[in-house]
Amino acid sequence: MTISKAVGIDLGNMFSSVAVWEHDHATMILNERNKKRTPSVVAFTKKTRMIGDDAMEQMAENPKGTVYDIKRLVGRHYYDFQVQDDIETWPFSVVNLNDEPMIKINASRRQKQQLYSPEDVYAMFLQYLKRIAERHIKASVEACVIAVPVYFNYHQREATRKAAKLAGLKLLQLIDEPTAAALAYSMHTPTSINTSINNDNDNDDDDHHLNNNQHRHYVLVVDFGGDYLQVTILDMRQELIKIKATGSDMHLGGKTLTTAMVDDVINQIKETRGIDGDMSDSYFGWAGRQRLQVACERAKRKLSFVTHTKLALDNFFHEGDALQMVVTRDQLERRNDAMFVAVMDHVKHTLMGAQLDKDNMEHILLVGGSTYLPKFRQLLTDYFGQTPNVTVRPEEAVALGAAIQAAVVKGDTPGDPLDTRWNLSEVAPVSLGVEVADDLLDILIIRGVPLPAKQSVYYPLWNRKQLVLTISIYQGERRQASENTLLGILELDGHHLSRRGEGQVEVELSLNHTGTLTVKAHCIQNSFGAKKLRISLGHQQRQTKHSYINKSLSSEIDCKQKDADNAFVMKVKAKQALEKQAYEYLYSVGHADGTKEQIEMLATRSLEWIQQQTWKVATLEDYDHQRRYLLSQVNAINNSARSGAKVPKVDNAYWYSGVHDGDGTVNDLFSIEDSGWNNDVLDSNSDDDSDGDDEDTDEIPESVGASNEDNYDGEYDSVVNWDRMT
């Protein structure tokens, strides 16, 4: 074997496959059973290790030594909520080793127990795929492109890289599964996707009336596989494929239908045999149930092409009786009505998350074996008014696309236009940002941008006594920082921060192809020294109290969460508007005679009220109401002074009558006021200011002049800190 080839690999949770570019097209590689797909199962016995179909067939007799669902473990921590849920359902043992899940195998009484990491098992399977690929192409396979789900975070992607290295494979690139599928469809569709896109390059004046969405080409990829659903909208333009929006459900897939069929069969057995209550192992045992699971899986697949089929299992019951039963497609569809509704809900939510209409979708692409279900395809056809594109077998699309990209990266397509058709660089799988004021996440590197990526911002300093400046870095899609994953903290040591506007802190985030994030920060015009932090995102995962990053990603397009994020940002803006107004009054000059003391008291009480609030209890309306009350009181004081009337006293009772139960503290790092942030980001679906009114329309007393910086005595530590500058 003197010639080296690169292959494309689809590492699925239930089935995996490998493909290669040869004879000017991508070809699926058959395994030892002459099948294009291999069960993602590894079995450990007393004498040997089995992979694929062999491992699958002995699962009933060796449940504790048979490992599957490895994709649900790789790159996760032991106490990940998803891992803990799955452990309850697996017959094999998963133990904790330094917060890493390890698979414990007792294959032989003479041998000590063996611990395998998920990456170890992943590597075993990759070695098997490498071996069958080499047998097919009669050449060595040293490199590959591996397709991964969009929701895979940095840790999961790094674990995949590690597994490839353990398997003796050079990983050329990780490619997102829907992107790989779109690439395969673009090569195999007679009237190809890329043809319609590349032909749309005449931006003539006749199109000036079209909106931006009509100039773009959106493709919906529905990946409905064995154990999860992934819905992705791709923005496909000339030479670029960008993920516009995605949503996934880790427990919605073909297994759902299989489990429902198993339950129905068991219920029919109970009814036929007059069994009341749960069926114990005395009827057919765990091995019998596993045989039934496999039989129902096969029957489910047949029902995609026929209206009915027979379940037949010899010696199924302990007494030797056989199981024979007819199952129908109609039964399967009616039994899973709720699942089909859930799938379409995910499709609709993804469209809403992308702020697109169903009519914007130019193509509907299918990925995964469960997309063969006639009812599923009919639901998509009825909803979108177009038939899904089926020019590529859904279960092969990802592997074929990965093989195409492997050929492009390795340069195995000389003279073919393929190598210039699409620019598919790796992208940032998760957004990265800095915590700013009030637990708000300022996203600097947006999910989906090509790698390497770099972004820097300047934050002007507010007046605040502080010896250490703390910069917290998060990954995630939520606007509230604590709802995301804390990656690391960078601290700048030095003297007191400058007065507002006299100093700036520059923060720079850069991310390379291997998932290494470099954070640089230095303070300009004062004594803070420069600091640098390097984080390997594949290895470091400090979790927030809420959950793991996967929780944020898998539901990021959830409309309720988007509404919650919008409400959170608006409340932050309302709080900061009140703080800003109070500080302007506190340090302003030019108060009318006899009003300075009263106005400063009002401002001080406002700041005290803010500090006394419990953040989760206080509402946007509370902050807005207090700000308006502050404005009205200052107006009343100044009007009285100008008219010669007696200046009213501050109503002490009012300031302590709001929502202040609890000892909430101000947690300010940066401020978003006057930041120049994109209103589309801050306000999302709202065109109004967070306080419900345009600040310019509020009546500001004439006595409030420019800020009196010279009067600042440095005593107010709770001041809002930094403003984001553009």
- Mean pLDDT (whole number) for 688-712: 34
**Which burial class, exposed, middle or buried, applies to 713 when counting CB atoms under 10 A from its CB (0-12, 13-18, 19+)?**
exposed
User: What is the set of domains in the chain, with CATH numbers?
Assistant: 4-174 (3.30.420.40), 217-390 (3.30.420.40), 432-554 (2.60.34.10), 559-723 (no CATH)
CA angle 375, 376, 377 (to 5 degrees): 90
pLDDT band at 682 (very low <50, low <70, confident <90, very high): very low
Task: Provide, rounded to the nearest whole percent, the portion of the chain with pLDDT above 90.
Answer: 33
Does residue 709 have a pLDDT over 90?
no
Q: Which amino acid is at 573?
A: K
DSSP state of 320: S
Find all residues with CB under 8 Å of 146, minimum gap 6, and list them: 8, 9, 11, 160, 164, 171, 174, 175, 402
Q: What are phi and psi of 171, to 5 degrees?
A: -85, 110
Quick one: pLDDT at residue 646? 60
Question: What DSSP designation does 153 have?
Answer: -
Percent of the chain scoring above 70 in pLDDT: 70
Among 326-330, 413-417, 550-554, the least confident range: 550-554
Whether the predicted pLDDT of 85 surpasses 80:
yes
CB of 655 closer than 8 Å to CB of 604: no
The whole-number pLDDT of residue 470 equals 79
Distance (Å, whole) CA 328 – CA 324:
14
**DSSP character at residue 715:** -
The tens digit of pLDDT for each residue in 599-635 reads 888 888 888 787 777 656 777 788 888 888 888 888 7
Better-predicted residue by pLDDT, 390 or 8? 8
Pairwise CA distance, residues 696 & 674, whole Å: 13
Type of residue at 112: K
Confidence of residue 719 (pLDDT cuts 50, 70, 90): very low
At 451, give phi and psi (nearest 5°): -100, 150
Q: Could you tell me which of 328, 318, 333 has the C-alpha nearest to residue 273? A: 318
Would you tell me how many other CB atoms lie within 10 Å of the CB of residue 106? 14
What's the number of CA atoms in the CB half-sphere (13 Å) around residue 196? 15
Q: Which pLDDT tens digit goes with each residue over 517-553? A: 888 887 765 545 555 556 655 544 444 333 333 443 4
Q: How confident is the model at residue 592 (pLDDT cuts 50, 70, 90)?
A: low
What CA–CA distance (Å, rounded) separates 498 from 526? 7
Average pLDDT over residues 146-170: 91
pLDDT digits (tens, 9 = 90+) for 210-253: 234 445 689 999 999 888 899 999 888 766 778 888 888 888 88
Calculate mean pLDDT across residues 470-486. 84
In this prediction, residue 327 carries a pLDDT of: 92
What is the average pLDDT across 137-142?
92
Determine the average pLDDT of the residues in 636-645: 72
Task: Say if CB 163 and CB 217 are below 8 A apart.
Answer: no
pTM here is 0.72
Q: How far apart are the first and last CA of the chain?
A: 57
Within 10 angstroms of residue 137's Cβ, the number of other Cβ atoms is 17
Buried b (16+ CB within 10 A) or exposed e, 366-380: bbbbbbbbebbbebb
Secondary structure class of 412 (helix, strand, coil): coil
> Residue 443 corresponds to which tokens in the numbers above?
């996203």
* Position 449, amino acid: V
CB 525 within 8 A of CB 502: yes
The span from the CA of 147 to the CA of 68, in Å, is: 19
pLDDT in tens, 272-297: 877 766 665 556 667 777 888 889 99
Q: Indicate the average pLDDT of the chain.
A: 76
> How many angstroms separate the CA atoms of 79 and 84, rounded?
6
Q: Where are the alpha helices (DSSP H) in 515-558?
A: 549-554
DSSP 89-121: T-SSEEEEETTEEEEEE---SSSPPEEE-HHHH
Type of residue at 369: G
Q: What share of the chain is helix, strand, coil (3-state, %, to 5)?
A: 35, 25, 40
CB distance 666 to 717 below 8 Å: no
Give dist(CA 331, CA 281) in Å, integer: 27
Q: What's the pLDDT score for residue 246?
A: 82
Q: What phi-psi label fits residue 239: left (phi over 0), alpha (psi between -120 and 50 degrees) or beta?
A: left
Is residue 579 packed enough to be buried (19+ CB in 10 Å), middle (13-18) or exposed (0-12)? buried
DSSP state of 369: G
